[in-house]
Chains A and B, each alone.
Chain A
């Protein structure tokens, strides 16, 4: 379950009514191309940017969208012309992906307010939050609380199952102990009677 790239774009210029639609402008970009060989990394980055622009162009405002592209799933969310995209593999749960997009959009708006609307050229400086988000959110449990809760609950359930098995074993052992203690009690009673009998009977001899 990996996240390969997170991209934020300004897709205000790509409203579909104007025939001369300009491509969306990249505002922030974080890619993890360590899986590719050294010489392919640049090409992979370009490819990611291109696909990001295309998908952001085709996502209408206020909508979410998921596109399958070769072995990647691209999830995009366009909120008031600020479009966030995530490239991830098929195993990453879709809902967590959209929660992640929501979160980075909120962070971006908190960090930059509305200044991004005027940006017309691709931003070249990396945004540190995005890069650390990319590494932090490789595991969907970090970003999606529901996923984390579900996972914790499943672990708790497994632990409880083990506990119940232990409890059954304890029950068996307790049954055993009851048997043995009742035998012991009977034997000690016989011993007492014998002792009393020898003490009382032949005192003359």
Chain B
């Protein structure tokens, strides 16, 4: 009997085999009822084991198919994310695909966990052979690895998408010349979208309920486009307004930093001023000392001169000298005349 999911490549004919064995046994053996009962029981047991094994295989094949489909969707998403140009931004489909893939991955994750539990319970129940248990564990590990690879790919694609988006935003800001243009454009474009938003009041806004939107997408509805396309527009608007606010705040912070640096410079100037004043104070002290020396010298010289003056102007020595000279003349005169 073929498994119903198209991707599996095995044909589960164990039930045919079991029926063939039964029929053979019935024709060949003439054993008593008890062993046949036991046979039947063991057959039933083995059938149960076989059925659980086929159940395991069915689920594993379903999970494998799911992983394959998810990786295909992921490849499509990667292509879309790489392809984005500045104006032709398919962010709507990217959003949808992202949510779908996220749901798929979570569903597959839970299914793999269930499968692993089943495999463990089978191994513990003990009526499977060693090969079967190793086979089932190998299958579970393989599925887990594939799911992990798919998740990593998904994360890579998301990072690439955000980088692209940032690059586009930078380019858009480079090309928009003045703020008035930026402010008027979103407003001009917003009015017609706002009027359309009234018609689409049945679909919820994408930023309100993510799961709600994705579930609606899952069911195949596609008229969530107009309301979800306002989201990147509002984002652009908000980013431009954030840029204006940022520039205001930046200018305030720059002014404060300017004031702080001016105050630093002023403090430097004051310290230099103080150094220079102290150095010049030293010079003033030297001058003071020199002037004191000069004063002392001049005072001493003045006293000397004063003494000289008094000695010159006093008559006592002079009188003695004149009297001495007269006496000498008198003596000579007396000696030579008398």
Q: Which residues of A contact B (CB under 8 A)?
A: 16-17, 19, 58-60, 63-68, 94-95, 98, 146-147, 149-150, 153-154, 156-157, 160-161, 163-164, 167-168, 170-171, 174-175, 177-178, 181-182, 184-185, 187-189, 191-192, 194-196, 198-199, 203
With A146-B259, A153-B263 as known contacts, state yes or no: A192 contacts B244, CB within 8 Å. Answer: no
* A177 closest partner in B (C-beta): B287
* A193 closest partner in B (C-beta): B301
A64 to B244, CA, bound (A): 7
Asked if B248 is at the interface of the complex by the 8 Å CB criterion, the answer is yes
Say yes or no: A19 contacts B191, CB within 8 Å: yes
Say yes or no: B308 contacts A199, CB within 8 Å: yes
A167 surroundings in chain B (CB, below 8 A): 273, 276-277, 280
Say yes or no: A178 contacts B187, CB within 8 Å: no
Asked if B190 is at the interface of the complex by the 8 Å CB criterion, the answer is yes
A188 to B299, CA, bound (A): 9
A58 surroundings in chain B (CB, below 8 A): 183-184, 187
A67, A154, A175: which contacts B180 (Cβ < 8 A)? A67
Instruction: Please classify the interface of chain A as helix (H, G, I), strand (E, B), loop, or mixed, using the class held by over half of its residues.
Output: helix
A-B contact pairs, 22 of them (CB 8 A): A16-B187, A16-B191, A19-B191, A65-B244, A146-B255, A150-B258, A150-B262, A160-B270, A164-B276, A167-B273, A167-B277, A177-B283, A177-B287, A181-B291, A182-B290, A185-B291, A185-B294, A189-B297, A191-B298, A192-B297, A196-B300, A199-B304
A182 to B288, CA, bound (A): 10
Max chain A Cβ within 10 angstroms of own Cβ: one of B187, B270, B279, B290: B290
The total of Cβ contacts below 8 Å across the A-B interface reads 137
A63 to B186, CA, bound (A): 14
With A174-B287, A196-B304 as known contacts, state yes or no: A191 contacts B297, CB within 8 Å. Answer: yes
With A63-B241, A181-B287 as known contacts, state yes or no: A157 contacts B251, CB within 8 Å. Answer: no
- Smallest CB separation, A8 vs chain B (Å): 19
Asked if B269 is at the interface of the complex by the 8 Å CB criterion, the answer is yes
Q: Chain B interface residue count: which class?
A: 35 or more
A119 to B16, CA, bound (A): 87
B248 surroundings in chain A (CB, below 8 A): 64, 94-95, 98
Asked if B178 is at the interface of the complex by the 8 Å CB criterion, the answer is yes
* B184 closest partner in A (C-beta): A58
B195 surroundings in chain A (CB, below 8 A): 19
A66 surroundings in chain B (CB, below 8 A): 179, 244
A154 surroundings in chain B (CB, below 8 A): 262
Q: Provide the B252-284 mask, 1 if CB < 8 A to any CB of A, else 0.
A: 100110110011011001101100110110011
